[in-house]
Amino acid sequence: MKYDLKQFTLEEKLRLLTGKDSWRLYDANGKLPEVFLADGPHGVRKVVDGQTLVATAMPNISALTNSWDPSLAYLDGETIGDECIARDVDVLLALGVNIKRTPLCGRNFEYSSEDPFLAGAMAKAYIEGVQSKGVGTSLKHFALNNREYERLAQSSEVDDRTFHEIYLPAFETVLEAKPWTVMCSYNPVNGIWASENEKLLKGVLRDELGYNGLIVSDWNAVHHSGKAAKATLDLRMPSTWDDTAVNELKEGLNEGWLTEEEIDERVCKVLELVEKKVNADKTKKSVKTKEENHAAAVKIAQDSIVLLKNEDDILPLKGGRIAIGGQFAAKPPFGGGGSALVNSDYAPRNLAEELSERLGDGATVEFIRDYSDTVHQARIRHTSSLLSAAYEADTVVLCVGSNAQMDGEDFDRTTIRLSPVHEDIILNTAKYNKNVVVVIYGGGAVDMRAWIGQVKAVVFAGFLGEGGQEAVADVLSGKVNPSGKLSETFPLCLEDTPTGADTGNGFVERYAEGVLVGYRWYDTKGKDVLFPFGHGLSYADFEYSDLAIEKKSETDYEVSFTVKNVSAVDGKEISQVYVRDVMATVERPEKELKGFAKTTLKAGESKRVCIALNARSFAFWSPALEKWYVESGAFEIYVGASSRDIRLCGKIEIDLPKKDQYCKAFKA
């Protein structure tokens, strides 16, 4: 189905560049079918007459990324795509791939990782999953929207090398999946609104990265439609509900700095989006039941849970008297707040019931109702009942952390500690019971220094969607062996992070740490951390051996090694491959993730893992050359169970033709 520009008057063409209302494209007086856009990354949020339709709340992408399993990201996208069809949504406004630059960012629950390689791999699979159903997506927020503070006004100031090495690669990788749209961010980038930043939208996204689809604004991110069209933004959302947008386009035409040819280019992108919808409508079909979608949510959640600490192998729970308390034991938060919120009608059982069912007669599981979120008096009653139960129990499980009121769009966290109430509950319980297991819900890193030494085990659940309660019970009971690993560093404290408590001054924030984001910062600066990037325990133990690095070309190598499950329980192991440029003419991070694999291994089983490295695995972005550049010299290849648990190490020497090499200043 092809639409011809000639079918439309100039007035219709100008109107096509702005939404009809909050969620629909303009239909050009009925010449076009309705195209409906809806959030969000963790489930469909379709608002009709002010009501949000019910949908399945899937694990948040921040939790899902802890699975390091692209096949689960694909399943996640496919599941949400299916529900889009059932609710007549043509384009899902997902996925966000902004890098987790600071753990304070309120929307970190909507983002994958501090590492662009991992973020890109997981997001690409998600986009492919959604679009496999014939539903479009919106890769967002382009670009450099890395905190919520003053997100509508504060300019993100970044140098060219940092932009290319940290903030662009995830977008670059996901563009391989051909998302139907890319959404520009609210914030200015190096001083110019993203929505009218021609160097960003045309220069980088279209010309450099080769994107030729539709660019849509974030909602109300356009400040002048004429300037946005000039920068090659195609669609302003939502409607301006008056002639503002059309008049701003006419202003550009009348003053001569915008041409009708440029308008036509933008209109063609809108028509191409409509054509994609019309073509998809011929075959797309919703085939999944609500129960199947819930089961998918549970399955993904199971492998997204990260076992951070497990002293004395207290987990999996062995039985005996178990007390379950904490604010989230009855109903865990499904996800963070804002446009990504999902209206799920799923009512989970409390964790005690779920555990009781799994542990059987060998356990007596007591649920202590929580009052953390109520008035002081009730809380005292709760604490006394929890403490007396703790005194009697063999093990206590406390479910704490944050929820949609604490992790959400449009505001940032002010601390990365748990709330004082939750810290108190943990510390007071630990006074009466030495076997405390803490389950943490939330969108990102937590400073646990105040209490972690008093507890035996810590499980990071993140925001697992509506299947979280079942998944946590599966892991605590041992029905599922935890296999998640952290996709962001958990620092000892906020002060140790690259940006600390800084927020920018409301007008400008300089990305002064450059490429040293996340583990790149902590490892290069030699800082201790609470739990490193890529960390996660299992009920099984894995050994690594027989590293081989096969040279395929001067810059292409195949890294292979053997992983063995040396325990008596089946499990899954996430192996990570990092590269270190031993000596470079620019400052490079101590190591960078350039490959990973998740391997299922039965008790006693060994498997050979192979991971390919190519030129981009060794290259840095050279602002001088304005391209990716591999410098001859030695590189170390690390194979790790985490970024700080390196099991195998190899070394290669790259020797490229002198004509392609440049002056080599040695490190001081």
C-alpha neighbours within 13 Å on the C-beta side of residue 617: 24
Q: What angle do CA 180, 100, 339 make, to 5 degrees?
A: 55
- The verdict on 150 binding ligand GLC (CB under 6 A) reads no
Look at strands 627-629 and 620-622 and give their pairing. antiparallel
Distant-in-sequence, close-in-space partners of 390: CB < 8 Å, separation ≥ 6: 323, 325, 396, 429, 432, 433, 436
- The verdict on 535 binding ligand GLC (CB under 6 A) reads no
Nearest approach, Cβ of residue 223 and ligand GLC (Å): 15
* Rounded Cα distance, 368 and 326, in Å: 8
R_g of the chain, CA atoms, integer Å: 26
What does the block give as tokens for 285?
């079909």
Alpha helices (runs of H) in 313-375, residue ranges in sequence order: 351-359
Q: Which of 76, 218, 412, 523 is catalytic?
A: 218
Q: What is the DSSP letter of 633?
A: E
- The verdict on 76 binding ligand GLC (CB under 6 A) reads no
In the complex with ligand GLC, the residue whose CB is nearer, 15 or 140, is 140
In the complex with ligand GLC, the residue whose CB is nearer, 46 or 382, is 46
Nearest approach, Cβ of residue 317 and ligand GLC (Å): 39
In the complex with ligand GLC, the residue whose CB is nearer, 102 or 356, is 102
- The verdict on 90 binding ligand GLC (CB under 6 A) reads no
Query: Of these, 197, 217, 304, 339, which contacts ligand GLC (CB under 6 A)?
Result: 339
- The verdict on 39 binding ligand GLC (CB under 6 A) reads yes
- The verdict on 371 binding ligand GLC (CB under 6 A) reads no
- The verdict on 513 binding ligand GLC (CB under 6 A) reads no
Sheet holding 214-217, edge to edge: 37-38, 91-92, 136-142, 181-184, 214-217
Number of residues counted as binding ligand GLC (CB under 6 A)? 6
Quickly count: other Cβ atoms within 10 Å of residue 389's Cβ: 21
Strand segments (E) across 368-498: 395-401, 436-441, 457-460
Nearest approach, Cβ of residue 95 and ligand GLC (Å): 10
- The verdict on 140 binding ligand GLC (CB under 6 A) reads yes
Nearest approach, Cβ of residue 107 and ligand GLC (Å): 8
Nearest approach, Cβ of residue 25 and ligand GLC (Å): 14
Query: What are the C-alpha distances in Å from 518 to residues 131, 441, 490, 551?
Result: 31, 21, 9, 30
- The verdict on 46 binding ligand GLC (CB under 6 A) reads no
Query: Of these, 69, 172, 218, 248, which contacts ligand GLC (CB under 6 A)?
Result: 218
Residues 256-285 that bind ligand GLC (CB under 6 A): none
Quickly count: other Cβ atoms within 10 Å of residue 29's Cβ: 11
Query: Of these, 85, 89, 93, 398, which contacts ligand GLC (CB under 6 A)?
Result: 93
Q: Is 62 helix (H, G, I), strand (E, B) or coil?
A: helix
In the complex with ligand GLC, the residue whose CB is nearer, 217 or 555, is 217
Helix and strand counts by DSSP (H, E) for the chain: 17, 26
- The verdict on 154 binding ligand GLC (CB under 6 A) reads no
Q: Is 370 marked active-site?
A: no
Identity at 407, one-letter amino acid code = D
C-alpha neighbours within 13 Å on the C-beta side of residue 580: 17
- The verdict on 42 binding ligand GLC (CB under 6 A) reads no
By rule CB under 6 A, what string of x and - marks binding of each residue 172-211 to ligand GLC?
A: ----------------------------------------
- The verdict on 644 binding ligand GLC (CB under 6 A) reads no
Please return the burial class of 354, using the count of CB atoms within 10 Å of its CB with bins 0-12, 13-18 and 19+. Answer: buried
- The verdict on 407 binding ligand GLC (CB under 6 A) reads no
- The verdict on 219 binding ligand GLC (CB under 6 A) reads yes
In the complex with ligand GLC, the residue whose CB is nearer, 93 or 563, is 93
Tell me the catalytic residues: 218
Which residues in this chain contact ligand GLC in the complex, by CB under 6 A? 39, 93, 140, 218-219, 339
